[in-house]
Amino acid sequence: MKAAFTTALLLIMLLDINIADARKRKKRTDLELNSDADVLEYLERQEQDMLIFKCKRLVMVKWLHSVLPYIDLQCQVMGDVIEVQWFYNDTLLDTGNMASRHMSLSQPHYRKGTFYDKWFDYKLRLLQVTEKDNGWYTIKAKSPQGLVEQGIVLLEVKTNYSDDKWIEWMEKVYKDSSDM
């Protein structure tokens, strides 16, 4: 049971490090984007036709085994987008090839019962992740007017991770939750 349990353990710490200045942060946190019209109004105030809105800037993963099955790196893009590309350490990733370990996924953003036409969630799914995948991942989005926006994510994976106190704590949490 311990082996099966430890196989399922995954600790992901997502830290959202915002690089915008305090004024822009305040504007973004005070947003009430309840419709596509609100999204377009926000873009107009920012004097942009497209904007990468939220990216997790740092993704840290500790995994007990040598290979992590998958991880998703996520960014949100507002506005009209005609092309999205992902890069790893400035090298374009082949995300359209089914044999690739990298897949680009997108879906309309969903919030408070609404799907948006001008706000999308983009993911880069990495399969069979190891420490060799550590590095800088960049999303570049292009608008019909030619504007290119980019967001950067740093991935730090530690495989074969073992910390006895952490494992004991997770086993206790698992045991306590199964006793309910």
Task: Estimate to the nearest angstrom the gap between the alpha carbon of 87 and the chain centroid.
Answer: 14
Averaged pLDDT for residues 125-133: 91
The pLDDT tens digits of the residues spanning 80-116 come to 889 999 999 999 998 877 778 888 888 888 888 888 8
Contact call for residues 137 and 43 (beta carbons, < 8 A): no
Mean pLDDT of the residues in the chain? 76
Contact call for residues 70 and 29 (beta carbons, < 8 A): no
Phi-psi region of 44 (alpha: psi -120 to 50; beta: other; left: phi over 0): alpha
The pLDDT tens digits of the residues spanning 48-74 come to 888 887 888 888 888 888 888 999 999
pLDDT of residue 169: 60
